Structure 1
Amino acid sequence: MLLNCDIGESYGAWTMGLDDQVMPYIDQANIACGFHAGDPLVMHKTVGLALKHKVTMGAHPAYPDLQGFGRRSMACSADEIHAMVLYQVGALSQIAGAQGGSLSYVKPHGALYNDMMRNESILRAILDALRQSPGELALMAMTTADNQPLRALCAEYGVDLLLEAFADRAYDEEGYIVSRKTPGAVHHDSDTILRQVLAISRGETIQTITGKPLFLEADTICVHGDNPESVAAVRAIRKTLEAQAS
């Protein structure tokens, strides 16, 4: 089971995350592309850090929402979304290429990610942008209780799919992550997080927020590294997964 992390989300004098501490423990870095976070210098440094630790790189495009950290939905047309994804992926791809690296996938950020999962026209606009981008880019998208419609659309566009689950988020019965506004939506207890990661990695069911069993197929699990406690959790997850594989 791969571990991925949203990373490179500092901007100017504002620092977000402990990228240098979490990078050694992850397999995939979802690098911000400037619209919700990540200015050009931060992008350049983050790419260098990923290359140093041999971490696979992906673009993490968002709505143009620096003030809201990309967590607010915006009334953008399909054409606008298509263009903004091309723009952000292109910028990061150029920065990666200048250092001898390349991108392997795209994981939309925040509200764009959630909207993509609920709105087919948004998902199609993103898939079309991936199809037109240089190199072959997979789409990292949220796994749910029924991934067949998502698989079918990706196959239509000739885009590989990486199914993502979350280590520290609660799920509803349809397999969608619960809104952060809901009590219990985010797991903070390390034992609960480890149990959820292990269950997903073993192909076992987890509990929904209502206590019902849920099976989630996943290729990669999203972890966070924005504070010392979350970095410690990532280290524990990596150690546990390695012990399970040995």
Structure 2
Amino acid sequence: MDGIIDLNADLGEGFGRWQLTDDEALLASVTSANVACGFHAGDPATMRRVCERAAEHGVRIGAQVSYRDLAGFGRRAMDVPADELTAEIAYQIGALDVFARAAGTRVSYVKPHGALYNRAVRDREQAAAVVAGIRLAGATLGPLPVLGLPGSELHAAAEEAGLPTVREAFADRGYRPDGTLVPRSEPGAVLTDADQVIKRSVGLARDGEVTAADGRALRMRARSLCVHGDTPDAARLARRVREELTAAGVEVRAFA
């Protein structure tokens, strides 16, 4: 391993007066912020505020695009026609970039959220529609890196389209033996023990290895590590993960 890892988290996941993520605290630890663009969470005021705070902290801003599913937090399976999904992806990226540029920065990458993230791992058509939306937004923004699961259809489609890809691993999610994530409907999908999450984070960043749900070791070379912003005590966990990565000799640095 090269001893360098990006630390990302999902931010801006609120709506109106309801706030889910501790954005200010998370921004003190992460190097990349996956900002909700209004389809699974977020609203214009929240997007603007998070972009301003991210710019102040020197944190890179990524568009966390989703199916249009506020009620289900973007975690429900949906069937969206490819052309419609392409337009919705471009729409979300463009909306976030307005606030990013007003804050003196820009959208630096794209990461799907929830059900769309998992669907695009295996569904070639949906993955291609997401990439088409990223390219559509890129007509004015330039080629945007795509953050996603290694070996996914999303990354295959992005590479075919000439977009940079960034391999992502999860500090707090369970893995199946094939390298995909354990569905949230199954036991062991989300890891809540802080010591376990920290140990996994260091193993992923330093050794390129993670333990699957069945106990076998998986090779997992990643450039970015995700700590979910909506897990209990996420801000403190992200801070501890960063501290332990640094103590282990891993440089925490944004990929974008």
The two structures have a TM-score, normalised by structure 1, of 0.94
- In the alignment, the residues of structure 2 paired with residue 208 and residue 163 of structure 1 have an alpha-carbon distance, to the nearest angstrom, of 17
Map 1:132-211 to 2 at 5 A.
Answer: 132-133=136-137, 134-135=140-141, 136-143=143-150, 147=151, 151-211=155-215
Secondary structure in 2 aligned to 1:140? strand
94-103 vs 71-80, greater mean Cα deviation: 94-103
Q: Quick check: 1:233 aligned with 2:237?
A: yes
Map 1:55-94 to 2 at 5 A.
Answer: 55-94=59-98
Closer, same or farther: CA 151–115 of 1 in aligned 2, 3 Å: closer
Closer, same or farther: CA 48–58 of 1 in aligned 2, 3 Å: same
C-alpha deviation, 1:149, in angstroms = 6.0
- In the alignment, the residues of structure 2 paired with residue 224 and residue 151 of structure 1 have an alpha-carbon distance, to the nearest angstrom, of 21
The residue type paired with residue 185 of structure 2 is K
- In the alignment, the residues of structure 1 paired with residue 129 and residue 17 of structure 2 have an alpha-carbon distance, to the nearest angstrom, of 33
Q: Quick check: 1:220 aligned with 2:224?
A: yes
- In the alignment, the residues of structure 2 paired with residue 216 and residue 170 of structure 1 have an alpha-carbon distance, to the nearest angstrom, of 13
228-237 vs 90-99, greater mean Cα deviation: 228-237
Identity of aligned residues (%): 39
- In the alignment, the residues of structure 1 paired with residue 94 and residue 225 of structure 2 have an alpha-carbon distance, to the nearest angstrom, of 25
2:106 aligned to which of 102, 105, 108: 102
Q: Quick check: 1:33 aligned with 2:33?
A: no
- In the alignment, the residues of structure 2 paired with residue 63 and residue 149 of structure 1 have an alpha-carbon distance, to the nearest angstrom, of 17
| Number of residue pairs matched by the alignment | 243
Aligned position for 1:10: 14
Secondary structure in 2 aligned to 1:123? helix
- In the alignment, the residues of structure 2 paired with residue 78 and residue 206 of structure 1 have an alpha-carbon distance, to the nearest angstrom, of 34
Gaps of 5+ in 2: 251-256
The 8 Å contact of residues 142 and 163 in structure 1, kept in 2 or not, is answered as yes
Q: Deviations over 1:75-111 (max 9, x none)?
A: 1111011010011111111121122210110001111
Report the aligned-residue RMSD. 1.5
225-234 vs 189-198, greater mean Cα deviation: 225-234
202-211 vs 165-174, greater mean Cα deviation: 202-211
Secondary structure in 2 aligned to 1:245? coil
The 8 Å contact of residues 137 and 159 in structure 1, kept in 2 or not, is answered as yes
Aligned position for 2:127: 123
C-alpha deviation, 1:228, in angstroms = 6.2
The 8 Å contact of residues 21 and 229 in structure 2, kept in 1 or not, is answered as yes
- In the alignment, the residues of structure 2 paired with residue 163 and residue 205 of structure 1 have an alpha-carbon distance, to the nearest angstrom, of 13
The 8 Å contact of residues 224 and 231 in structure 1, kept in 2 or not, is answered as no
